[in-house]
Structure 1
């Protein structure tokens, strides 16, 4: 009998979404790295800096540039803003939406996710700003919806000592989204702008209507002041991990940015959100894409990568790291001694936070405030993967398979994007071909920004639009929007340009 060859079991490769994670400041998630002689992140005030970054990332086939933001300074640590100011810990920081049109003008496919808070922006004004940039980028804009977390923002913007309570901010955000959906989706018909030169009619007033929103937090009569943009509603992203944040994400988010030290922790959160989406909001939770924060440090050999890691640590700022930690957690570690074991202090918040760090960094036998600073000073609250391209690809694959993520927000420790560095980047690019058909098929890493390309992607143009065209249930959008305006048996049908939300003009009465 002839020998038979066992069938080769293969799994379908998973296309991954790949973003660069940046902020309009120096250092970003790694305070102090602006001191590195090769760093150029301090050029964040220079428009050319951002244009060149966008061009470099598009050439590397990135899907998007995810821009973080804060509206206040990190002043919890030592009850002072000085540590953040001195170390440059996300200070100073510029407004992110302003730079997007210039980056879009220099590129064709890459998308832009911009962090903007519902707590400190009026919805009518923000709807105008987002629609404007969606027009200028030809539909490449995403909105990372946040409620903010720094009391310093409340003091400076609202003149209040503290922010609204956490769950109250999310209740406000929920109403905020209702207003935004009405303005984006239901106040203009697609063909309202007719440009009738003979009759002198620019817009047909019968095809534009007020939204007449009256709620607990907002009264907005409308209509939107901008005509519908290519997407109408920008791609919606979210980054909260609290119970209220997960509910918000389950209802609204098309992509979620998560920061966790372990794939297991990430997987649990993803499962909860997707189940909430299914059971509470009738959405297909599997269409919500999840992006994990990762900081890769690469070398031609493992020794070279570890040497880079050690070199970067020399420039990291302990004070800056503790300032960021204080803002993220509300915990001032200055009140504890230099050698005090934080897993044994009275504060449950400190103990639980530090115990979580220790669980995934067992090499540290004692956790002091300096250990915490070392832990968050490089890459913030996400994992660092150090090694050769093969080793980094293995690490990323573990997050995909065990964490269930759909892609990554890559943090660069410092930016090196000048013309000279671009040439060096191309000379030193390292390529890995995987032998295992079940794993990530290939990765391409550059020395400067840690860029990564997975061959499981589609063409660059299609890749840039993956998140926009495949992440939201249209039925969910229709159902949700139908609750926002009074129903009508009449009305004209219209063609929708958005690929993600139905235009519901025909379902609602015209005001």
Structure 2
């Protein structure tokens, strides 16, 4: 069972309100020692990685920041977690560090240089969570774009963006091109350097990648979109996919769909690691766990749920007729943003027959859950039972834990649940983990620090024209 923790360098995660509760310490998210403590806690417990969500946007209603978002710190305010990575890498030695970066803002050359550098500084422990953007209407305005890029076009851009990044990581420096022979005074072998030429629909580049090959070359590629376009992109490109499960059946269908699509792309479907979000509230007794969960739920309101949903989708649920199915209510608005922002958070409510619940039912589900995945509450045995059952019924490879009270929830999980999962053989003892170079890719089960042979990026070195 692979385990990661979903965090943000912001007041709270998951589209809910919790930062002001006495059990939460996330108000210290601007302090580096806070994050060093979290990273070391998870590393000592054997977690595979610490995952940072990120984005430039924020909720908007009628084109402006809702006062409730500022008052509650609801997807508003946040630091750049990428700048935390070198510090956390220096303070740890094994845990992977995954950071989100959008393909809709920076040029691929800048992105490749940044992640190539981080792979060196982390010793091969970096992962890139590829997103096409979030709160796209706010981001478009912030960056001075004339209009919001349509949903499917964003995925076209993402495919080309990642392709060019992989050309730079994989195709410029041959193995052995970096010489660093101080006696001979030779730094690099010019005969083993290749010029990258790319003239695509959205990006152009011609020249050399200046970052020498890092331990993984290409960072581990994560992706979280579950729209049709997102699943297709994940199946062709991602190595680890993050799902937000609503029901076990829905999650199982998404897992099967992703693996089928990966096979259609000529990839080993089992090489695609699929993780699902889970919010775990655990205590020494089930009664204590349920009391703490109830405290959290009493903090949530329809306004909180609506503001968060607006930030992800551009949709103000409180402004819609409450007793109409969500799909019908959205169609009535005529809002061009519908379907162009946060499509995964619209599709997650679709039933197998394609229908959607009433708007008030969607609000009720979001209240206390937000954009989180499965809710798991109980004592250590109950929690371990529920996690095992989800693995068996959905086919997922593990979980991204989304704390409601951070880092207190992480501490309780490490203290109470990790030993039980180890006892059941669901988590290896640290001394039993496979040996290797210690890269994140190997920690997630790969046999090499490099991209798998059937990954499209592995063959990008072929056909590049040598300059000398």
- TM-score between both structures, scaled by the size of structure 2: 0.86
Identify which of 387, 411, 414 aligns with 1:396. Answer: 387
CA distance in 1, matches of 2:143, 2:346: 32
**CA apart distance, 1:370:** 8.6
1:14-41 superposed Cα distances (whole Å, 9 cap, x missing partner)? xx10001101101111532111012111
Structure 2 counterpart of 1:288: 272
Residues 1:341 and 2:341 aligned together:
no
Q: Flag the 1:55–1:317 CA change in 2: closer, same or farther, 3 A.
A: farther
Say yes or no: does 1:271 pair with 2:256.
yes
Equivalent positions of 1:124-139 (< 5 A) are: 124-139=109-124
Structure with the greater alpha carbon radius of gyration: 1
Q: What is the aligned counterpart of 1:313 among 287, 297, 305? A: 297
Residue aligning to 2:19: 34
Task: Return the match for 1:49 from 20, 30, 34.
Answer: 34
Cα deviation for residue 348 of structure 1 reads: 5.2
Distance in 2, matches of 1:45 and 1:460, equals 36
Residue matched to 2:306: 322
Instruction: Compute the displacement of 1:205 (Å).
Output: 2.6
The 1-side partners of 2:184 and 2:228 are apart by: 55
1:510 paired with 2:460, answer no
Distance in 2 of aligned mates of 1:469 and 1:354: 33
Q: 1:250 to 1:108 in 2, by over 3 A?
A: same
394 and 171 in structure 1: CA distance in 2 versus 1, 3 angstrom threshold: same
Cα separation, 1, equivalents of 2:15 and 2:50: 18
Q: Contact 2:227 / 2:347 at 8 angstroms: preserved in 1?
A: no
Q: Which residue of 2 aligns with 1:66?
A: 51
Unpaired runs of 5+ in structure 2?
334-342
Structure 1 residue 433 displacement after superposition: 8.1
Q: Aligned partners of 2:248 and 2:359: how far apart in 1?
A: 25
Q: TM-score, normalised by structure 1?
A: 0.79
Post-superposition offset of 1:242:
1.2
What residue ranges of structure 1 are gaps of 5+ in the alignment?
1-15, 361-365, 435-439, 444-452, 488-507
Counterpart of 1:226 in structure 2 is 211
Out of 130, 141, 145, the residue aligned to residue 155 of structure 1 is 141
Post-superposition offset of 1:243 = 1.3
Equivalents in 1 of 2:42, 2:419: separation in Å?
21
Tell me: CA distance 1:172–1:344, structure 2 relative to 1, closer, same or farther (3 Å): closer
Which of 140, 145, 155 pairs up with 2:125?
140
SS in 1 for 2:174: coil
CA distance in 2, matches of 1:157, 1:27: 25
Number of equivalences? 446
Matching residue of 1:467: 444
- On the 8 A contact 2:326/2:358 being kept in 1, the answer is no
What SS does the aligned partner of 1:149 have? Answer: coil
Range with greater deviation from structure 2 (153-162 or 179-188): 153-162
Match in the other structure for 1:450: none
One of 429, 445, 457 as aligned partner of 2:415? 429
Once the two structures are TM-superposed, the CA of residue 159 in structure 1 deviates from its matched residue by: 2.6
Specify the SS of the correspondent of 1:145. strand
Instruction: Give secondary structure in 2 for the equivalent of 1:283.
Output: coil
| Deviation string, structure 1 residues 370-389 (Cα, Å, up to 9, x no partner) | 97166343463312111111
C-alpha contact 1:113 1:142 (8 A) present in aligned 2: yes
**Hey, what's the Cα distance between the residues in 1 that align with 2:92 and 2:326?**
52
- Rounded to whole Å, the distance in 2 between the matches of 1:39 and 1:165 is 38
